[in-house]
Amino acid sequence: MTCLKGVFSGGPRKYNISQVTEERIRSIVYGNCIGDALGLLTEFMHKPNIEKVYGEHRASGLKYSHKVKDRHRGRWVIGDWTDDSDQMICIMRSLAQKKNLVVTDIAEAFYDWSNEGFPQLKDTGGLGLGRTTYLVLSEKDYLTKPEESAKRVWIDSNQNAAPNGGVMRTSILGIYEFQDLNKVAENTVKVCRVTHYDPRCSASCVAVTIIIAKMLQRIENKNQTEFSDNDIEEILNETYEFTCKYIFENEEYTADLKSDKLDQFKADFKTYFFIKKDGLEELKLDEPAKIGYTFKCMASGIWALKQGDPEKALTDLIMEGGDADTNGAVAGALLGCRYGLNRFPKHWIDDLAPLPVNFLEKNLNKFISTFFLTPE
DSSP output for 139-174: STTTTT-HHHHHHHHHHHTTT---BTTTGGGTTHHH
pLDDT digits over 304-360, tens only? 999 999 999 999 999 999 999 999 999 999 999 999 999 999 999 999 999 999 999
| Residue 123 annotated as part of some ligand binding site | no
pLDDT digits (tens, 9 = 90+) for 190-209: 999 999 999 999 999 999 99
Of all residues in the chain, what percent carry a pLDDT higher than 70? 96
Q: What is the mean pLDDT of residues 243-257?
A: 96
pLDDT tens for each residue of 279-300: 999 999 999 999 999 999 999 9
Q: How many residues does the chain have?
A: 376
pLDDT exceeds cutoff 90 at 302: yes
Q: E-assigned strands of 94-134?
A: none
Q: Does residue 239 have a known ligand-binding role?
A: no
Task: Give residue 3's pLDDT band: very low, low, confident or very high (50, 70, 90).
Answer: very low
Claim: this prediction has a pTM higher than 0.85: yes
83 among the known binding-site residues?
Answer: yes
> Alpha-carbon distance 345 to 349, whole Å?
7
pLDDT the model gives residue 305:
99
Nearest to 37, CA basis, from 352, 301, 343: 352
- In order of their start, the domains of the chain are 15-56+77-372 (1.10.4080.10)
Please tell me the predicted confidence (pLDDT) of residue 13. Answer: 59
Has 278 been labeled as part of a binding site? no
Query: pLDDT band for position 1 (50/70/90)?
Result: very low
Is 82 within any annotated ligand binding site?
yes
Q: What is the largest CA-CA distance in the chain?
A: 60
Q: Based on C-alpha coordinates, what's the Rg of the chain?
A: 19
Give Cβ neighbours of residue 94 (< 8 Å, ≥ 6 apart).
101, 102, 105, 106, 109
Amino acid at 335: L
- Is 326 annotated to bind a ligand? Reply is yes
Are the C-beta atoms of residues 18 and 178 closer than 8 Å to each other? no
